[in-house]
């Protein structure tokens, strides 16, 4: 599990521009992305399902797991490797019951105090953030900072992927604070050369 | 199935005001509601799950099925009787695979032409509408009118519940046009006396 956390791409079609999302994902994996979360906040679930199936095809045989944000039904329908759930999403225990023991279930943690209320036995990894302020998720909680990230790391043995405002400049510091990896959206999605951007990040993180 | 279509309540917490949604649903069932669809377009899925469990409790032993709008995962998690899916929701075939043979699966049809593209073998009933213009769903398709409703009725043998702008004034005409029943939102949800409003509608429809 922990090794899949290294460079975690949040693939959001809102950042795809005129490019095809599966192509962006394929390019990112060539650059060293170790896990892909597909996130679609639009209201066209049928399209999300089609898109998710196309991304799953691209990832087949690469060893890179595909995780669906929020929609446990979409994850189940397309045979994804798991789901990523926020604090307001389907409870992790219900997701585990639907998806079974083998599924990867990630949970967003916005502050260490949330760990006390979380059903961590149903969770495989934590997404901790936002570490820094971010423009890509305007409704995000206040930034954790590196101290807040370290507090989550200390409080819980689960693999932790840091998210929120991460880039080449601050990636190494986040790893030093204890994260197993970094999750990026625009740092890869919005790059002119997606493969190069992913490879640079991967080199900066190591692992 | 068809008898459950008679008076179909779309219970949407956006119309609950200061009242508890399960209380409104219980009052509506006392008035003769035959099926309840829970619809929550908010972004707090965890709360939706709690709410759905509370409504399920209220319906237990009444014989009135509980259907969840859009979220197949929520339906599965709370043990609802089925789901209602729109044209942009999870494909009905995927929903059938997730929920199994016994689940009730409804599909929204906005015009008869959509029947040709629908996987009707996976569908138990159709929600046809909006029959009339409605303020409760601002993103709805153009109204079908009674002729459009009759065209859907003729084209397909599945039970049809009519939706969109339905009230005491036009309910009987909709049944005359071939609908097995009517679905209402504000006509019951926004009523001062929910039980009375439901009973009046039920009397108008007959059945």
Instruction: Please give, one letter per residue, the 3-state secondary structure of B59-88.
Output: HCCCCCCEEEECCHHHHHHHCCCEEEECCC
* Residues in contact with B60: Cβ distance below 8 Å, sequence separation at least 6, in sequence order: none
Each of the 207 residues of chain B gets a pLDDT tens digit; together they read: 889 999 999 999 999 989 999 999 999 999 999 999 999 988 899 999 999 999 999 999 999 999 999 999 999 999 999 999 999 999 999 999 999 999 999 999 999 999 999 999 999 999 999 999 887 777 778 999 999 999 999 999 999 999 999 999 999 999 999 999 999 999 999 999 999 999 999 999 986
Mutate to test the interface with B, among A39, A53, A73 (most CBs of B within 10 A): A73
Instruction: Please give, one letter per residue, the 3-state secondary structure of A72-89.
Output: HHHHHHHCCCEEEECCCC
- Look-up of token digits 């159709």: B126
Architecture of domain A2-205: Alpha-Beta Barrel (3.20)
How do the domains of chain A map onto residue ranges?
Answer: 2-205
Test A90 with B49 for CB contact under 8 angstroms. yes
Measured between alpha carbons, how far is B165 from A113 in angstroms, rounded to an integer? 46
Q: What ipTM score was computed for the predicted complex, to two decimals?
A: 0.86
Measured between alpha carbons, how far is B87 from B152 in angstroms, rounded to an integer? 15
Reduced to 3 states (helix: H, G, I; strand: E, B; else coil), residue B90 is coil
Residues of B with CB under 8 A from a CB of A: 43-47, 49, 70-74, 76-77, 87-91, 94-95, 97-98
Measured between alpha carbons, how far is B54 from B193 in angstroms, rounded to an integer? 21
Q: Which residue of B has its CA nearest to A76?
A: B98
CB B140 within 8 Å of CB B134: yes
Backbone angles phi, psi at A43, to 5 degrees: -105, 15
Q: Name the strand (E) or helix (H) holding A192.
A: none
Q: Which two tokens stand for residue B185?
A: 């939102």
Q: Which two tokens stand for residue B151?
A: 């065209």
Does the annotation list A127 as a binding residue?
no
In tens, the pLDDT along A107-146 reads 999 999 999 999 999 999 999 999 999 877 777 789 999 9
């Amino acid at each position: 599990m922990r090794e899949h956390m290294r460079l975690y791409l949040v693939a959001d079609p809102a950042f795809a521009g005129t490019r095809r999302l599966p192509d962006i994902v394929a390019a990112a994996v060539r650059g060293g992305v170790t896990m892909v979360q597909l996130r679609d906040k639009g209201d066209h679930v049928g399209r999300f399902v089609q898109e998710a199936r196309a991304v799953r095809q691209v990832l087949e045989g690469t060893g890179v797991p595909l995780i669906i944000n929020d929609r446990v039904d979409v994850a189940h329908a397309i045979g994804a490797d798991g789901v990523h759930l926020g604090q307001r999403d389907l409870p992790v225990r219900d997701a585990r019951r639907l998806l079974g023991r083998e599924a990867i279930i990630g949970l967003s943690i916005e502050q260490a105090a949330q760990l006390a209320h979380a059903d961590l036995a149903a969770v495989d990894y934590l997404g901790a953030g936002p570490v820094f302020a971010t423009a890509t998720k305007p409704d995000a909680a206040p930034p954790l900072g590196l101290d807040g990230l370290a507090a989550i790391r200390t409080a819980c043995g689960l693999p932790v992927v840091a998210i929120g405002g991460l880039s080449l400049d601050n990636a190494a510091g986040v790893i030093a604070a204890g994260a197993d990896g970094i999750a990026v959206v625009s740092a890869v999605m919005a790059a002119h050369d997606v493969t190069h951007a992913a490879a640079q990040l991967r080199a900066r993180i190591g692992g």
